[in-house]
């Protein structure tokens, strides 16, 4: 990863942070729900999804300065933040730590957490519907993509499968489906939104769907490999007693699968975006960094996806 | 209320039920989240919001047969259903009964309830974005209206104020603001969606906003008056120990306020919709029916709004 690439990512992250700050509403008063929304969204995160959206749009020929692009990227990050807040709840994963801090419900209580997540989700759809300088047709299509990624064919179903398969024997097939629903579907919506803004061809959009599929599986495998290690900013050994591919196949086989998914992702991406390689460079830099941390057994700075 | 009007409402209710059934997704499998979504949405309800949307659109000159109208009406009902499911949760109002049945979390558990509500909310936005025979501009504007009604300037903030003011002294002003956020804002989005489809003038839309304001306050006053009575299908004396306008001013004064809001609502509606009076007739029939039930002290069939 060269310095220019890292500088550019940092500039983009700052632009995202600034725009997220602007887009989070003030409400009738600055109360606990308002604070929980901000804490859940603005606290440090690697912004993988919004960065992917912007970089993929550029690779597809879009002007990166188009303000609507940043708005869509912020909407995806709001959805991601809301899903983490709810997944951490006592009646879900009962997590204590997230990004190195107490989870939102531990800071603000369960009712405020639910309300903040609902407000974030509905704000995300509103941000897409009012995104700057995008045509109404783009906005409507982007709302539909986001809706599919969140609902019963996406994050919701993934979390339900994850909850109900915990601690039980489950097949590799079920694990792959859960990973797809929990992770690939929101990557898919993210990349489809980039394609919508860039007015990409149906062929490119289909390739991006396949890319999202591989990328989501790779991310989830990386997450499973990281479980049990300190310094992830999350609870450790959260998957203990739960059937994961690591428990089922061993770490080496999972590393191999991860490698295969990344190679396949690479091929799909090359076919979808022939104008550049910002997305590919970003993805490889991210995974290379994680791999290096694993191999050096220096996990203390492993970032959250 | 004449028989034709009641027949027409019944026909509309059946059309809504049929379309809601079609629009609720099947998911990867028909699991508990799927069942909770259906139970929370399809179980008996009076469908006040979706009926209002369709009737107001007709009064504004719209063809009632336009399929997009029914889709928007279903989206509003999904949002309403999701908000009731979450409001009833143990960490919120801890309600045991809704529409005469055990609340959703008592039937399906807290985690499934949260997931079903999130899936319903995101489905609602998707239904608007994909509504039949509506222009992309209409869809984007309708998504923005719905987003505002749900978020920190609407239902979420109303529920937060309601939770945090419970059992404490609160001013009449705070109660009115809570009622507005909890009830008027979704009525507002409902009527604005009708106006968007009907391509109503800015003047008419402003009048409809005032109408929604009065209607929401009137509904909430009726709800407060009904508290403590059997047969509402909800927990009784839920507001016991909580400052309401009934406790503060007495039932007679609240009846008077309700009457004043309805008269004001009437005026705003007449100015907004000069082509007909379906909405007015529906509203008056509904409130007359409730009033009659109060005065006869026969509350056993008091419908849920």
User: What is the longest distance spanned by two Cα atoms in chain B?
Assistant: 53
Distance CA B118, CA B283 (A): 30
User: What is the longest distance spanned by two Cα atoms in chain A?
Assistant: 53
pLDDT of residue A40: 95
> B202: how many CB neighbours lie within 10 A of its CB?
8
For A31, the token pair is: 């109360």
In chain B, % of residues over pLDDT 90: 65
Average pLDDT value over all residues in chain B: 88
Shortest Cα distance, chain B CAs vs residue A200, angstroms: 19
Whether the ipTM is more than 0.95: the answer is no
Distance CA B188, CA B5 (A): 24
pLDDT of residue A297: 56
What average pLDDT does this structure show over B273-278?
76
The label of the residue with tokens 């009708």 reads B194
Cβ separation A118–B146 shorter than 8 A: no
pLDDT of residue A118: 98
Q: pLDDT digit string (tens) for B77-99?
A: 999 999 999 999 999 999 999 98
> Which chain B residue lies closest to A112 (C-alpha atoms)?
B160
Q: pLDDT digit string (tens) for A225-271?
A: 887 565 566 666 566 566 778 888 888 899 999 999 999 999 999 99
Q: Which of A155, A79, A152, A172 is nearest to B32 (CA)?
A: A152
Kind plus residue range of the DSSP H or E element containing A98: strand A97-98
Cβ separation A126–B160 shorter than 8 A: no
- Ranges of residues in chain A with a pLDDT under 70 are 1-2, 26-29, 166-169, 228-242, 275-276, 295-305
The label of the residue with tokens 């390739």 reads A207
pLDDT of residue B265: 95
Q: CA neighbours within 13 Å on the CB side: how many for B233?
A: 15
Q: pLDDT digit string (tens) for B133-156?
A: 999 999 999 999 999 999 988 999
Name chain A contacts of B129, Cβ cutoff 8 Å: 140-141, 143-144, 147
Q: Does residue A283 contact residue A215 with C-beta atoms inside 8 Å? A: yes
Q: Does residue B47 contact residue B104 with C-beta atoms inside 8 Å? A: no
> Which chain B residue lies closest to A86 (C-alpha atoms)?
B114
What average pLDDT does this structure show over B185-207?
97
Q: pLDDT digit string (tens) for B205-217?
A: 999 999 999 999 9
What pLDDT band is residue B298 in, cutting at 50, 70 and 90? very low
pLDDT of residue A276: 56
Whether A72 contacts chain B with CB within 8 A: no
Measure CB to CB from residue B123 to each of A25, A137, A151 and give the nearest one: A151
Residues near B103 by beta carbon (within 8 Å), at least 6 away in sequence = B85, B88, B95, B96, B97
Q: Does residue A209 contact residue A69 with C-beta atoms inside 8 Å? A: no
Q: Which of B129, B103, B128 is nearest to B116 (CA)?
A: B103
Of the ranges A195-204, B172-181, B245-254, which is most confident? Answer: A195-204
Cβ separation B135–A130 shorter than 8 A: no
pLDDT of residue A207: 96
> Which chain A residue lies closest to B181 (C-alpha atoms)?
A28
pLDDT of residue A122: 98
Q: Does residue B34 contact residue B59 with C-beta atoms inside 8 Å? A: no
Cβ separation B144–A150 shorter than 8 A: no
Number of Cβ pairs < 8 A linking chain A and chain B: 169
> Which chain A residue lies closest to B35 (C-alpha atoms)?
A152
∠ CA(B235), CA(B74), CA(B139), 5° rounding? 135
Name chain A contacts of B150, Cβ cutoff 8 Å: 118-119, 122
What pLDDT band is residue B239 in, cutting at 50, 70 and 90? low
∠ CA(A64), CA(A67), CA(A68), 5° rounding? 100
Residue A305 is given by DSSP the state -
A43 burial type by CB count under 10 A (0-12 exposed, 13-18 middle, 19+ buried): middle
Q: Which domains does chain A have, with CATH numbers?
A: 3-295 (1.10.600.10)
By DSSP bridging, strand A101-102 and strand A97-98 are antiparallel
Whether B125 contacts chain A with CB within 8 A: yes
pLDDT of residue B224: 84
Measure CB to CB from residue B143 to each of A125, A137, A177 and give the nearest one: A125
Shortest Cα distance, chain B CAs vs residue A231, angstroms: 28
Q: Does residue A191 contact residue A52 with C-beta atoms inside 8 Å? A: yes
Distance CA A202, CA A214 (A): 19
Q: Which of B124, B266, B277, B250 is nearest to B190 (CA)?
A: B124
Which of B25, B92, B128, B140 to probe the A interface (max A CBs under 10 A)? B140
Which of A115, A133, A134 to probe the B interface (max B CBs under 10 A)? A115
Distance CA A153, CA A56 (A): 24
Is pLDDT of B228 > 70? no
DSSP string, A155-209: HHHHHHHHHHHTTS---HHHHHHHHIIIIIHHHHHHHHHHHHHHT--HHHHHHHH
Distance CA B25, CA B4 (A): 34
> Which chain B residue lies closest to A159 (C-alpha atoms)?
B115
DSSP string, chain B: --HHHHHHHHHHHHHHHHHHHHHS---SS--HHHHHHHHHHHSS---HHHHHHHHHHHHTT--TT-HHHHHHHHHHHHHHHHHHHHHTSTTTT--SEETTEE-HHHHH-HHHHHHHHHHHHHHHHHHHHT-TT--HHHHHHHHHHHHHHHSTTTHHHHHHHHHHHTTS---HHHHHHHHIIIIIHHHHHHHHHHHHHHT--HHHHHHHHHHHHHHHHHHHHHHHHHTT-TTSSS-TTTTTTS--HHHHH-HHHHHHHHHHHHHHHHHHHHHH--S--HHHHHHHHHHHHHHHHHHHT--TTPPP-
Distance CA B200, CA B269 (A): 13
> Which chain B residue lies closest to A151 (C-alpha atoms)?
B119
Q: Does residue B93 contact residue B87 with C-beta atoms inside 8 Å? A: yes
């Amino acid at each position: 990863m060269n310095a220019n690439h890292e500088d550019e990512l940092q500039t983009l992250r700052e632009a995202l942070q600034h725009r997220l700050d602007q887009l989070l509403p003030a409400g009738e008063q600055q109360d606990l729900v308002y604070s929980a929304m901000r804490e859940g969204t603005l606290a440090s995160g690697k912004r993988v999804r919004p960065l992917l959206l912007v970089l993929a749009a550029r690779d597809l020929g879009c002007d990166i300065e188009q303000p609507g692009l940043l708005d869509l990227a912020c909407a995806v990050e709001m959805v991601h933040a809301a899903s983490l807040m709810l997944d951490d709840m006592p009646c879900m994963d009962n997590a204590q730590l997230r990004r190195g801090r107490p989870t939102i419900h531990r800071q603000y209580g369960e009712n405020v957490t639910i309300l903040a997540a609902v407000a974030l989700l509905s704000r995300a759809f509103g941000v897409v519907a009012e995104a700057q300088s995008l045509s109404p047709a783009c906005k409507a299509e982007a709302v539909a993509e986001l809706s599919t990624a969140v609902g019963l064919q996406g994050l919701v179903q993934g979390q339900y499968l994850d909850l109900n398969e915990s601690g039980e024997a489950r097949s590799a097939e079920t694990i792959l489906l859960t990973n797809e629903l929990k992770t690939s579907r929101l990557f898919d919506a993210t990349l489809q939104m980039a394609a919508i803004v860039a007015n990409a061809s149906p062929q490119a959009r289909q390739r991006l769907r396949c890319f999202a599929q591989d990328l989501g599986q790779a991310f989830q495998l990386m997450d499973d490999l990281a479980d049990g290690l300190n310094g992830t900013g999350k609870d450790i050994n959260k998957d203990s007693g739960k059937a994961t591919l690591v428990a089922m196949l061993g770490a080496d086989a999972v590393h191999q699968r991860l490698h295969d998914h990344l190679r396949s992702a690479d091929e799909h991406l090359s076919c979808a975006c022939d104008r550049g390689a910002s997305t590919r460079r970003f993805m490889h830099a991210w995974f290379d960094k994680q791999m290096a941390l694993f191999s050096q057994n220096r996990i203390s700075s492993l970032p959250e996806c």
